[in-house]
Amino acid sequence: MQRKILITIGVLLSNLICFAQNKVETHTLNYDRESLKIIPDKFFEIGIPLLIIFILLNTLIAVLKNRAEHQLKLKMIDKGVSEDALIKIFKESNLMAKLQPLKWFLFIFGTALALLCIHFTRDFLVNQSGYLAVGIFLLFISAAFFIYYNILSKKIN
């Protein structure tokens, strides 16, 4: 099995080496780059500041939430609450804290897939509205968050 894989990789690499210097014929598209953009300027003018505000607010909320939970845990320990009760009370928040890297991985993965999809379909998006590309972004990101929500709901129950 490994021999077949190595032979296949060798053939593919030799093919790549043979055709590495060839020029690919590109079709010239007759369109105005300023008026028919794949991703419109309004998306960047509105989307980037909103993304920065979202990230700042998310960071602020996460810091405040962690601090409040820590203070609550200290107060509960001072009052003599049992360890089993603490585990039951903070089970959900601990699970959400453990799944934060998964959430951000899915967000970045969804964004990367959207960019790849837009890149490979850019010839079809030339004469279309730029908001179709924005729709592709929103579709992939919402699918990523839907997957995160399903994983989170299964882990909590």
Of 27 and 4, the one with more pLDDT: 4
Q: What residue spans define the domains of the chain?
A: 37-156
Average pLDDT along the chain: 80
The pLDDT tens digits for 66-108 are 888 888 888 888 888 777 777 777 777 777 778 888 888 999 9
Q: Rounded distance, CA 119 to CA 123, Å?
A: 9
Confidence check: pLDDT of 14 > 60: yes
End-to-end CA distance of the chain: 42
CA distances in angstroms from 109 to 16, 104, 117, 150, listed in the order given: 28, 8, 12, 17
Q: Which two tokens stand for residue 128?
A: 């279309």
Measured between alpha carbons, how far is 78 from 72 in angstroms, rounded to an integer? 10
Q: What is the pLDDT of residues 102-127, one digit of tens each?
A: 888 999 999 999 989 888 887 777 66
CA separation for the pair 124, 119 (Å, rounded): 10
Q: Where are the alpha helices (DSSP H) in the chain?
A: 2-18, 41-79, 83-89, 91-98, 100-120, 131-156
Helical packing angle, 91-98 and 100-120, nearest 10°? 40
Lowest mean pLDDT among 71-80, 83-92, 133-142, 147-156: 83-92
